[in-house]
Structure 1
Amino acid sequence: MAVRRIIRLLRFKVEFNYPKSVRFRCVKCGLCCGDTKTKTRHIILLKSEADQISKTMLQPISQFAAKIEGREPYIYEMRKRENGKCVYLENNRCNIYKNRPLICRFYPFELSSYGGKYSFQFTEECSGINKGRILRETYFRKIYNLALAKYRRITESSRRI
């Protein structure tokens, strides 16, 4: 199962590379919440994330997400408006900010694994890069641990089934 492999890698390979002098501060431009001229965004959701959004917004999952295959443990993709933006983005503000998906919490960073080593990369298309304070290891460790906790919950729930 893909989730168990992810957990194994996350748990035992906790050393990672991260950009040492990158500055970041969200400038609330909304660029991260939809397609750009050069990139199509895929805001993918774990089942637990879709369930939480559904509960919070009092909407069926089918209203804001479409089922996807082949991206386990992610099983939904957030729907977009005609302009390519997330259905929950209004006036460059996220209506589900407190319950936003893991992929949104990571942006503009992403965590990759090559040969058992982890590395954080970032996209320079984000307007908040090179603004604000320099991010330290504690910032990256925090989002790494958030991902680990989410994947652990998935593994624990699959054992109960």
Structure 2
Amino acid sequence: MEKELIAIVNMKTGEIDVVKDNFKFKCIEDCARCCIENDIPLREEDVERIKALGYEEEYFVDYTKMFYRGPKFLGYAIKKRPFDDACVFLDPETKKCRIYEYRPLACKLYPFILIKHGDTLEIYIKKDSNCPGIDHPDGDPIEIIIERYFGEVLKGGEYGVRRIRSENSSYPLKRLENII
């Protein structure tokens, strides 16, 4: 799948250089295309968080689909329903996630891809025709998206992002107090 670089984070200074200033994103309510079209990888942390809600692993883990990065096993996929091929947690009537607050990290990040190279973190957008929220005119700029969607990933430790910098952005360099 094609991807486009949106921003680069300096992990030492916490500064974010916005590469594509005119980029916007808005998750469209009741769309749920990503819950139907995509296979979602589960990290061990995701499995444990969902099990803590009272779900049995066999209900939501698809042991026949595995994700790898090179030779490294990353995890299994979330199960899909046989009657519509949607995620088992997608309510078929409301098209809302039944575990939204506890959903897997891959769901929280979609359609973004975060790639760490040494002291930099690159933020890409998947050029996915299934996602109507990419470059949506009512969408949020990357500065707001980072605050809203990447909090879990960027909090503390190696992802301690603190500031945003953009040469052409109308958003000045600022601290992201609610992330760190």
Q: Same fold (TM over 0.5)?
A: yes
Gaps of 5+ in 2: 1-8, 159-180
Q: How does 1:124-139 map to 2 (within 5 A)?
A: 124-125=128-129, 126-129=131-134, 130-139=136-145
Matching residue's letter, 2:22: S
What does residue 47 of structure 1 align with?
Answer: 44
TM-score normalised by length of structure 2 = 0.61
Structure 1 residue 124 displacement after superposition: 4.2
1:70 pairs with one of 43, 68, 71: 68
Bigger radius of gyration: 2
Q: In proportion to residue count, which structure has more helix?
A: 1
Q: Please say if 1:21 is aligned against 2:15.
A: no
- Between Structure 1 and Structure 2, how many residues are aligned? 138
Q: Deviations over 1:20-78 (max 9, x none)?
A: 2222222221101122xxxxx2211111211111121x121121013446355742310
Q: Which residue does 1:89 correspond to in 2?
A: 90
Contact 2:80 2:87 in 1 (8 A): yes
Q: Which residue is 1:120 aligned to?
A: 124
Identity of aligned residues (%): 24
User: What value does the CA root-mean-square deviation take over the aligned residues?
Assistant: 3.2
**Distance in 1, Cα, partners of 2:88 & 2:74:** 18
**Residue 99 (1) aligns with residue 96 (2):** no
TM-score by length of 1: 0.67
Counterpart contact for 2:79–2:88, Cα < 8 Å = yes
Is there any run of 5+ residues in structure 1 with no aligned partner, and where? 1-8, 36-40, 153-161
